Amino acid sequence: MTDETSIDPTAPTSASKQDAPGDAAQKIGIGELIEGEMSSEDALEKVVLYAFDEAREKLAQGGIFEPFTVIISGENLYIESHPGEDAVECFNSARKTVFQMENQADAYVFCYDGYVDLEDGTHDALVAETASKGDDAGEAYAQLYTEDDDGITFEDETLYSLGEAPTLFGAEEFTPEQLEVEE
């Protein structure tokens, strides 16, 4: 069962992105996204909203997008796409990204296009899974949408809480080949 969450998806979350030096991930300063003093929980909430904004924009432009993570590391956000042939490859890519940045990462948001089962059936949805370092589990949220000949329509501004999600922190160790790095 899902509950509506108190996250306000209408809150402004625009930010300019820059390429991280020597890395495929994009990097933005958290100060560009969040104004004023905030707790780490408030900052994570804003990053979740930012991820949904990015996902809505990408989905509306092309009807499909690659799953991505937003890694919170101190005052910086790193955004990395996770292309793959199937959901397992995308998930493993996200897990690998979190693993590689685990020493620097404070939290992450993993966002993808998926489905959710509600009392009235299965719905297309944007899904964001999030966790902070040290948490035993993460949380998942969804925003429902429909797709027809006229394009994509987000049913409303509501985000649904899907409850606990497994955290990507503390993932099993990877071999150098899996990480695509030289020993």
The structural domains of the chain, with segments of one domain joined by +, span 3-168
pTM of the model: 0.72
Are 132 and 70 within 8 A, CB to CB? no
Q: 51-96, pLDDT tens digit by residue?
A: 999 999 888 887 678 899 999 988 888 899 898 888 888 888 888 8
Is it the case that residue 7 has pLDDT exceeding 80?
no
Are 111 and 104 within 8 A, CB to CB? no
Q: Which residues are paired to 163 by β-bridges?
A: 140
93-112 burial: b if 16+ Cβ within 10 Å, else e: bbbbbbbbbeeebbbbbbbb
Are 53 and 13 within 8 A, CB to CB? yes
Q: 94-148, pLDDT tens digit by residue?
A: 888 888 888 888 999 999 999 898 888 999 999 999 999 988 889 999 999 988 8
Q: What is the pLDDT of residue 112?
A: 93
Strand-pair category, 121-132 with 107-118: antiparallel
